């Protein structure tokens, strides 16, 4: 298996370290964060070489190849425990997330400094609703020529990348889904959120070892580096990659030569056509766009409202906890929120979001904009033009641009342009079935929510199951245990028919 090439590594550097935090980038290489002290006494840097005494303990490794080898051993041990063993692991992960939700939420917020504590905690409580082995019902076929059984079998070891936006929750739901399917996993977490992930992985593996005698079912590399990601992608024990992140890491994973399940970027638009309750539309929009300070990839990022209902919608936003900025304040915020690096080719370079204000509280953004906002303000918003930078860039902060449109057709076209063909998520507030259908067909998003907040797409306020890995780029959708399986067919010819 060839290594991920240098150009893709540079993409990963820019995406993982430049966009959402981490070490500075110089000449295409990232300075790795200093290793945190671990109770396992490991030493190493993710190199392929291994030596005695460097094995990890309870899932934490400093050598990526050793992590992959240990995970493969754990996968074989899990196979011996059967489905009952998987069920026990799932219950351990869910119960630990519930028991430690408040402490772990605080620890993650202290490390990443993005988002809201109450929502960090909620994401850990939400692990109770992540689907488990019940998703893996076999298919039985019977006919004149015997019986056939199709079952969902594991791949073995999965290599996973987790984001800084919800580090522990993504790790937890990945473990639940992957182990339910019978796999083990090796994580390479975001450099800006790896310490909390290492802490949780160690606790998970300690509990699994006490209950089942398996020590390294969910491994993690400490500290994560670009080299450790490359090693994981190349390791022969790793049969599948799962990436939750931006376009750089997604591109690298898809070029690795292995099958990859990729949860890529999103810039979800909202269309309000005025045929539904404007107050409900405003409340849902505020709730979704302000959740964890708009760190969710499914979160409302820009809104298009028919002109004849625009003023009423804006008033409803103000009446339900959002604060309206004027044009000058929006300009000041934009100048701080985005930079335009040089040397990225001809034409207008892609803007880079200022990682220092990603996921920060509305009060922080308001100070930058020169506004004084009431206590308890959930979200900042403003009227902008359709070509405003906030409309077309996934800024991941509690500010929402709102654009007037003259018709539903214009709104759908503008929403499609802003969504950039990511096919991630979109929202409409409407009672007109034709308008709903028009937008759904035009954008072809993985999640399409009607008359609810974005979170309804993950079962919070709507029906369905949740997961923090939403594979939009590769098409699997919201991940579940079946996502991490391969279908195997067993055929018995002309036997076992009872009639």
Question: 494 in a domain, yes or no?
Answer: no
Give the residue from 303, 299, 304, 302 showing the smallest Cα distance to 457. 299
Residue 139 and residue 226 in one domain: yes
Question: Looking up tokens 């000058």, which residue turns up?
Answer: 328
Number of domains in the chain: 2
Question: 321 in a domain, yes or no?
Answer: yes
Question: 206 in a domain, yes or no?
Answer: yes
Question: 470 in a domain, yes or no?
Answer: no
Residue 238 and residue 330 in one domain: no
Give the residue from 304, 301, 331 showing the smallest Cα distance to 392. 301
User: Which whole-number Å values give the CA distances from 448 to 320, 469, 477, in the listed order?
Assistant: 24, 16, 12
Residue 244 and residue 134 in one domain: yes
Residue 348 and residue 397 in one domain: yes
Query: Rounded distance, CA 39 to CA 55, Å?
Result: 12
Q: Is the dihedral of CA 21, 22, 27, 28 positive or negative?
A: negative
Residue 273 and residue 422 in one domain: yes
CB atoms within 10 A of CB 311: 12
Question: 202 in a domain, yes or no?
Answer: yes
Q: Kindly indicate the confidence band of residue 54, based on its pLDDT and cuts at 50, 70 and 90.
A: very low
Domain holding 222, by residue range, is: 6-264+480-485
Residue 113 and residue 88 in one domain: yes
Torsions phi, psi of 460, nearest 5? -95, 95
Question: 475 in a domain, yes or no?
Answer: no
Residue 15 and residue 162 in one domain: yes
Residue 273 and residue 383 in one domain: yes
pTM (2 decimals)? Answer: 0.86
Q: Which pair of tokens denotes residue 409? A: 């057709």
205, 177 contact by CB (below 8 A) = no
Residue 224 and residue 255 in one domain: yes
Looking at residue 358, which CATH number applies to its domain? Answer: 3.40.309.10
401, 391 contact by CB (below 8 A) = yes
The pLDDT tens digits for 127-138 are 999 999 999 999
Predicted local confidence at residue 22, as pLDDT? 41
User: What does the mean pLDDT of the chain come to?
Assistant: 88
Question: 302 in a domain, yes or no?
Answer: yes
Looking at residue 235, which CATH number applies to its domain? Answer: 3.40.605.10
Residue 197 and residue 280 in one domain: no
The pLDDT tens digits for 323-382 are 999 999 999 999 999 988 764 444 456 788 998 999 999 999 999 999 999 999 999 999
Q: Kindly indicate the confidence band of residue 10, based on its pLDDT and cuts at 50, 70 and 90.
A: very low
Burial of 209 (0-12, 13-18, 19+ CB in 10 A): middle
Residue 53 and residue 176 in one domain: yes
The pLDDT tens digits for 484-493 are 999 999 999 9
Residue 128 and residue 273 in one domain: no
User: What does the radius of gyration of the chain's CA atoms come to, in whole angstroms?
Assistant: 23
For residue 25, is pLDDT > 80? no
For 23-37, 119-133, 400-414, which range has the lowest pLDDT when averaged over its residues?
23-37
The pLDDT tens digits for 213-272 are 999 999 999 999 989 999 999 999 999 999 987 777 888 888 888 999 998 889 999 999
Question: 471 in a domain, yes or no?
Answer: no
């Amino acid at each position: 298996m060839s290594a991920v090439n240098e150009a893709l590594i540079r993409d990963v550097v820019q995406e993982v370290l430049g966009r959402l935090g981490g070490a500075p980038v110089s000449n295409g290489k990232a300075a790795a964060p200093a290793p945190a002290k671990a109770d396992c006494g490991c030493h190493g840097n993710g190199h392929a070489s291994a030596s005695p005494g460097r094995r990890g303990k309870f899932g934490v490794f400093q050598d990526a190849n050793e992590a992959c080898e240990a995970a493969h051993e754990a996968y074989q041990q899990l196979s011996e425990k059967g489905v009952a063993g998987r069920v026990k692991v799932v219950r351990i992960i869910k119960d630990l997330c519930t028991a430690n939700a408040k402490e772990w939420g605080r620890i993650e917020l202290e490390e990443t400094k993005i988002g809201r504590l109450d929502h960090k905690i909620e994401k850990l409580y939400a692990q109770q609703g992540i689907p488990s082995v019940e998703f893996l019902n076999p298919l039985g076929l019977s006919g004149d020529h015997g019986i056939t059984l199709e079952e969902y079998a594991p791949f073995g070891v999965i290599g996973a990348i987790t984001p800084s936006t919800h580090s522990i929750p993504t790790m937890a739901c990945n473990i639940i889904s992957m182990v339910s399917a019978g796999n083990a996993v090796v994580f390479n977490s975001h450099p800006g959120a790896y310490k909390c992930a290492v802490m949780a992985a160690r606790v998970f593996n300690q509990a699994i070892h006490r209950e089942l005698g398996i020590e390294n079912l969910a491994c993690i590399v400490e500290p994560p580096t670009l080299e450790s990601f490359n090693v994981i992608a190349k390791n022969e024990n790793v049969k599948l990659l799962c990436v939750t992140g931006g376009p750089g890491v997604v591109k690298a994973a898809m070029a690795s030569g292995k099958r990859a399940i990729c949860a890529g970027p999103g810039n979800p638009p909202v269309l309000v056509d005025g045929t539904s309750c404007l107050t409900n539309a405003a409340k849902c929009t505020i709730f979704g766009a302000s959740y964890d300070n708009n760190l969710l990839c499914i979160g409302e990022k820009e809104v298009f409202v028919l002109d004849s209902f625009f003023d009423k919608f804006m008033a409803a936003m103000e009446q339900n906890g959002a604060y309206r900025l004027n044009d000058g304040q929006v300009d000041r915020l934009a100048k701080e929120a985005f930079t335009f690096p040089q040397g990225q080719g001809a034409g207008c370079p892609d803007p880079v979001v200022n990682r220092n204000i990603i996921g920060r509280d509305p009060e922080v953004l308001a100070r930058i904009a020169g506004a004084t906002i009431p206590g308890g303000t959930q979200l900042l918003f403003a009227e902008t033009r359709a070509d405003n930078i906030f409309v077309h860039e996934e800024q991941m902060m509690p500010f929402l641009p709102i654009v007037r449109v003259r018709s539903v057709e214009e709104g759908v076209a503008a929403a499609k342009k802003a969504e950039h063909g990511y096919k991630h998520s979109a929202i409409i507030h409407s009672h007109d079935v034709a308008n709903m259908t028009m937008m759904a067909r035009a954008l072809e998003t993985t999640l399409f929510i009607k008359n609810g907040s974005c979170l309804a797409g993950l079962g919070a306020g709507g029906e369905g199951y949740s997961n923090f890995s939403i594979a939009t780029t590769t098409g699997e959708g919201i991940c579940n245990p079946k996502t991490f399986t391969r279908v195997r067919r067993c055929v018995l010819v002309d036997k076992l028919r009872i009639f």
